[in-house]
Chain A
Amino acid sequence: MESWGKFRRGLRREDQEALDELFRAARLQLAGSAYAARPIPFESIAMCMLLAQHRMIADLEHRVKRLEAAHDEDTDNHRVAV
């Protein structure tokens, strides 16, 4: 993580925060990285970041679908009322 210090320094504040968030994601998956013990640790770190991204997208999709469903129901109800 320290080795990305220069990279981080060259980012805008809001991007720095996003980068920190990504590295935080990597720290949530200790077991996978430890068990795989890949020769280039960054591979595991990058995979953890991708995983976190994917999980977040999936969660958001799920929420969007739920909200859409609720919204459709709402408008349906509205129509009936009209």
Chain B
Amino acid sequence: MTKTRTITGWLFDLYPSREGITLWLVDRDGAKYRCHDGFDPWFYMHIPEADEERVGAIVRLFPFRVSLDRTVRREIYTNDEWNVLRVTVHDTLHLKDVVRRLEPHFPHFVFFDSDISPQQLYLYRTGLFPLAFAEYTLDEEGRLISWNLDDDPGALEYQLPPLVTMTLKNVPDFVSPKYRKTHQLEVGYDGRTYALENEDPAEVIASLNRHLTRCDPDIIMTEFGDAVLLPMLTRIAAQEEIPLALNRDPSAGYFTTGETSYFAYGKIVHKDGAFELAGRWHLDTENSFMMGEASLDGVAEIARLTQLPVQHQSRSTIGSALSSMQLSWASRHGYLIPAKKREPEEFKSASTLLLADRGGLIFQPVMGFHEQIAEMDFVSMYPTIMVRHNISPETVNCRCCRNRAVPELGYTICERREGIVPATLRTVVSKRASYKKMKKALKRTGDEQWKLYDRRQNALKWMLVTCFGYLGYKNARFGRIEAHESVNAFSREAILRAKEIAEERGYRFIHAIVDCMWLWKEGATESDYESLAVEVRESVGMDISLEGIYNWILFPSSKMDPRIPTANRYVGWYANNEIKIRGIEVRRRDTPVFIKRLQGEMLQIFGAAATVAELEELIPAALAKAGEAISLLRSGTANPLELVIRRHLTREPEEYTTNTASAGAAKALDEAGVHLAPGEMVEYIIVDLSGKKKPAKALPVPLYESAEGYDIETYTDMALKAVETLLLPFGYDVGKLREVFGCSLQKKKRQAASGSEGQGSLFDS
């Protein structure tokens, strides 16, 4: 009879190891337990029995056991049963090697479940999930033999284990460590920070080890830990031949991946490679979409729901979070998971193509200032459409039904089985709705519980926002363009129905973007809009909610042509004293802080206006405020750090052919030995945009010295444009503003300070 023991606590971390899967548990007191579970991952190959011997010949070359047998699984698109070869690898550390060795000998479409990490496969097949609370039973050798789950990924109320966090960063903060060559460390825990500075790198490593032992953190939180800090520390430790105690599990290695740049939503994105620890979480706040958007509570929510281990999840794109839920669902339901996307677009006639290839509808706004406008939004429109209409790659134009359910396009949607996309999204949609309700029930007290629900619902929101893109994404595992088009068709139908209902009730349709609309009706009150919402909900079958009624809202004109409006740029104050800003300078990431503040202060002044007439009376005050900032700017004494422009690089520095400011800054950094990849942010200060007075148009922040000054005219122009955005409807264009602020172009020659004499090249055109 063997002795067992039971640990009541959370599953904290897991990774492949010689024993199969190593798991770390944390109990309520914060005590950690290392245990393991034997696990032999497998994948499938759809090949005839005659080809089996080829597989056998290859896998026999491995020094570990790989076994083959035949089994039956379902193919998701056809729903047919397929007889497939199961390849079981009796060594979790080498699953990838086996797949890689086989891949060159077979076409990619015969592989299923083959590109998923062993720890994910383990979670899918056991039903466990990160941070699952259970009674875990271990035998005396530390083997996990059973568990009694007292938790569920769908649970709304759950607790997180007590976790100890240590922050680790390079100092000083001003320059991002990517650009720096000297190293000083700052370690923080228990509310204290310690500076580790020493000429001798061995001493720095030794004292970091002491802190790691003393603090024994569960989470190591870094900035640029993935790209710079941890690779650097491990390199130094290796050179100095001192073991570095970053891992809690000394027998395990680090899990690293390379950096990548990729296209997402028409934009180049850069991701640093991952640096994951064993038995501890390394979270890099600079390399995590989730950490920025939703913090640890959000990361935990998504990790639990998607069964992606926390460290992996915090670094992954939202798409892989959704994808993980789909993989788990497919695995549970006996479906094969294609290794790579292989469903081609179906042939479409020219007229279908015309009808299909469109997004949601946009009604251009009526330009200028408005008052008493209400904004109404469909709640999670796209995911709701997918769930409600069962839209999924395998349900659109299925072989079994014939119903032409999709408006405009006439595609058929399967009535016999629920699609993988709606099946997985359903949980996300309903969980988010529940958190929002729970949050609302607490009122806006701003207490911890309220914030917790808010962070969780926010994390889920990001999953929902991106779910739609992945339906049509050609590399998505479960995506197909017809599904994407169908969602769009339903969305157009919904907003048009809403418009018709509103117009029948006498509302004016001021503006609409895909899933939200701005309405006006003389004297309409909140309860009028609420009852309109009820009507729309009943007719369209989707929730629409009143975002609020604006005291005033501005739809500015296009920057390219002041006579036409643009969608998705607006600013307004709600009657409840909240401001909403989209697309204008103060919200844009590439706007220098100085300009943001200038525009922000003007908006703050306008916040006092309950009507457009009142706003007009506040213009002199707002102009005075802006004037102060502009004269500071023109005196040449503005803080250059507030004039930093941040731009994403769209290509390699040497690939830039045009001599733009950001290209110049990136090239200068490159020459100084700091390479930035596409998608990375370059930060610079414009010193002479004309390029006539100074050798460089712009200087990257690390190479900038305050003696360089800044390009007064360029920044003045930016400031004037930010004012113009708000005041053009009252006739204040840049020309008039120059008169108002006494900075017309003729006077430009007379400038003081260290700043370059502006050439105003921006105005020449």
Contact = CB atoms under 8 A, between A and B. Distances in A.
Contacts of B354: 37-39
Contacts of A39: 350-351, 354
B358 A34 contact: yes
Interface residues on B, range: 10 to 19
Contacts of B362: 30-31, 34
A24 B361 contact: no
A30 B360 CA distance: 11
Contact of B564 (A28, A31, A34, A35): A28
Nearest to B353: A37
A20 to B, nearest CB: 9
A35 B350 contact: no
B620 to A, nearest CB: 32
B593 interface: no
A66 B749 CA distance: 53
19 contacts: A24-B563, A28-B364, A28-B564, A28-B565, A29-B364, A30-B361, A30-B363, A31-B361, A31-B362, A31-B363, A31-B512, A34-B359, A34-B361, A34-B362, A35-B358, A35-B492, A37-B354, A38-B354, A39-B354
The listed residue with most B CB atoms (<10 A of its CB), out of A29, A35, A38, A39, is A35
A55 interface: no
B561 interface: yes
Contacts, number: 33
Contacts of B350: 39
Nearest to B359: A34
Interface of B: 350-351, 354-355, 358-359, 361-364, 492, 496, 512, 561, 563-565, 567
A62 interface: no
Nearest to A29: B364
A24 B367 CA distance: 14
A71 interface: no
A34 to B, nearest CB: 5
Contacts of A29: 364
B361 A37 contact: no
A27 B364 contact: yes
B40 to A, nearest CB: 53
Nearest to B351: A39
Given A30-B567, A35-B492, 12 more contacts: A28-B565, A29-B364, A30-B361, A30-B362, A30-B363, A30-B364, A31-B363, A34-B361, A35-B358, A37-B358, A39-B351, A39-B354
A34 B351 CA distance: 14
A37 B748 CA distance: 51
A79 B512 CA distance: 51
The listed residue with most B CB atoms (<10 A of its CB), out of A27, A28, A31, A35, is A31
Interface string A31-68: 10011011100000000000000000000000000000
Closest 3 CB pairs of A and B: A31-B361, A31-B363, A37-B354
A15 B512 CA distance: 33
Contacts of B351: 39
A35 B361 contact: yes
A35 B351 CA distance: 13
Contacts of B563: 24
Nearest to B509: A31
Contact of A35 (B364, B496, B561): B496
Contacts of B561: 24
